[in-house]
Chain A
Amino acid sequence: MNGAHDLGGMEGFGPVIPEPVHAPFHAEWERRVLATTVACMAMGVWNIDAMRASRENLPPPEYLTSTYYEIWFKGLVSRLLQEGLVSAAEVESGVAEAPGRPVPNVFTADKVAPGLAAGSRYTRDPDRPAAFVAGERVRAREMNPTHHTRLPRYARGKAGVIEAVRGFFVFADANAQGLGPQPQWLYTVRFAGRELWGPEADPTLSVSIEAWESYLEPAD
Chain B
Amino acid sequence: MSGDHEHDHDHHEGSTLSEMDLRVRALETLLVEKGYVDPQALDLIIETYETRIGPRNGARVVATAWLDPDFMTDLRRDASAAISSLGYGGRQGETMVALENTETVHNMVVCTLCSCYPWPVLGLPPAWYKSAAYRSRAVIDPRGVLADFGVSLPAETEIRVWDSTAEVRYLVIPQRPAGTEGWDLDALAAIVTRDSMIGTGLVTLPGAAA
Is A8 a contact partner of B21 (Cβ separation < 8 A)?
no
Alpha-carbon distance between A68 and B7 when the two chains are bound, in angstroms = 10
Q: Is A96 an interface residue when CB atoms closer than 8 A count as contact?
A: yes
Count of B residues near A, CB < 8 Å? 96
Is A122 a contact partner of B167 (Cβ separation < 8 A)?
yes
Q: Knowing A28-B21, A67-B1 are in contact, say whether A206-B159 is a contact too (CB < 8 A).
A: yes
Q: Is B5 an interface residue when CB atoms closer than 8 A count as contact?
A: yes
Give the interface residue-count category, chain A: 35 or more
Q: Give A1-50 interface residues, CB cut-off 8 Å to B.
A: 5-11, 13-20, 22-29, 31-36, 38-40, 43
Alpha-carbon distance between A25 and B37 when the two chains are bound, in angstroms = 21
Q: Is A129 an interface residue when CB atoms closer than 8 A count as contact?
A: no
Q: List 27 A-B contacts (CB under 8 A).
A: A13-B137, A16-B133, A16-B137, A17-B3, A17-B128, A17-B131, A25-B50, A26-B8, A40-B31, A63-B1, A68-B4, A68-B131, A73-B23, A77-B27, A85-B36, A90-B30, A100-B34, A100-B35, A103-B36, A106-B37, A152-B113, A172-B166, A202-B159, A204-B156, A207-B139, A207-B162, A208-B161
Is B160 a contact partner of A26 (Cβ separation < 8 A)?
no
Q: Is A146 an interface residue when CB atoms closer than 8 A count as contact?
A: no
Binary CB contact string for chain A from 61 to 80 against chain B (1 if under 8 A, 0 otherwise): 00111111011010011001
Binary CB contact string for chain A from 83 to 117 against chain B (1 if under 8 A, 0 otherwise): 00110001111111001100100111101110111
Contacts of A197 in B (CB 8 A): 140
Is A29 a contact partner of B37 (Cβ separation < 8 A)?
no
Is A24 a contact partner of B3 (Cβ separation < 8 A)?
no
Alpha-carbon distance between A111 and B134 when the two chains are bound, in angstroms = 35
Contacts of A206 in B (CB 8 A): 158-161
Contacts of B54 in A (CB 8 A): 22, 24
Known: A36-B37, A205-B161. 13 other contacts (CB 8 A): A16-B134, A18-B150, A22-B54, A27-B11, A29-B21, A40-B37, A43-B36, A64-B2, A95-B30, A107-B38, A123-B94, A152-B163, A172-B166
Q: Knowing A32-B25, A167-B95 are in contact, say whether A99-B113 is a contact too (CB < 8 A).
A: no
Q: Does more than half of chain A's interface fall in helix, strand or loop, or is it mixed?
A: mixed
Q: Is A169 an interface residue when CB atoms closer than 8 A count as contact?
A: yes
Q: Is A186 an interface residue when CB atoms closer than 8 A count as contact?
A: yes
Contacts of B148 in A (CB 8 A): 15-18
Is B135 a contact partner of A8 (Cβ separation < 8 A)?
yes
Contacts of A139 in B (CB 8 A): none
CB proximity of B89 to chain A, nearest CB, Å: 7
Contacts of A34 in B (CB 8 A): 45-46, 49, 124
Q: Knowing A13-B2, A167-B95, A197-B140 are in contact, say whether A19-B126 is a contact too (CB < 8 A).
A: yes
Alpha-carbon distance between A95 and B34 when the two chains are bound, in angstroms = 9
Contacts of B8 in A (CB 8 A): 26-27, 67
Q: Among A5, A36, A172, A205, which residue has its beta carbon within 8 angstroms of that of B27?
A: A36
Q: Knowing A24-B125, A26-B8, A106-B36 are in contact, say whether A117-B90 is a contact too (CB < 8 A).
A: yes
Alpha-carbon distance between A46 and B32 when the two chains are bound, in angstroms = 18
